[in-house]
Amino acid sequence: MARSADERAALADAKARLDGLQLYPRPVALRRSVRIVTAPWLFRLPWFRRFDGYTMWDLILLRAPLREVSGDLVCHELCHVWQMQHRPVAMPLSYLHRGYAANPYEREARRAVAETAPGGAASAPGGG
């Protein structure tokens, strides 16, 4: 299934923000497999309950419909896509041995959102 117009716009906005940063050698690639899917059932599971969004490689999963989600959350999750495009093994494994809260990739994604916030205001989306 092709991306919806909302999905294309959300991904393009988030990519434009991340393209202003130089965290990795190549910009995040919006290849065909990068998708945003709303999956409320996932966020009822114990590990996922604390998140509003969660990214597995190129797949961004959201608790709420995309229209109800902030650009900051999409930016945070697309930053994880970017990380996984450059660190496909080390990044996901880091959550096993470093945990979530102090995870360096998590901090990097939060910083990416804060540094590219349109109003300059830092917010704290509940992104996984």
Binding site residues, Zn ion, CB under 5 A? 106, 109, 127
How far is the C-alpha of 39 from the C-alpha of 8, rounded, in Å? Answer: 18
The residue among 72 and 106 lying less far from Zn ion, judged by its C-beta, is: 106
Residue 1 CB, nearest distance to Zn ion (Å)? Answer: 25
Residue 76 CB, nearest distance to Zn ion (Å)? Answer: 6
CA distances from 18 to 40, 58, 69, 113 (A): 26, 15, 18, 8
Residue 119 CB, nearest distance to Zn ion (Å)? Answer: 21
Number of C-alpha atoms within 13 angstroms, CB side, residue 45? 8
The residue among 53 and 66 lying less far from Zn ion, judged by its C-beta, is: 53
Three-state DSSP class for 122?
coil
> Among 49, 56, 76, 53, which residue's Cα sits nearest to residue 65?
53
Neighbours of 33 (CB within 10 A): 10
Closest residue to Zn ion in the complex (CB): 127
Residue 113 CB, nearest distance to Zn ion (Å)? Answer: 9
The residue among 52 and 106 lying less far from Zn ion, judged by its C-beta, is: 106
The residue among 4 and 100 lying less far from Zn ion, judged by its C-beta, is: 100
Three-state DSSP class for 21?
coil
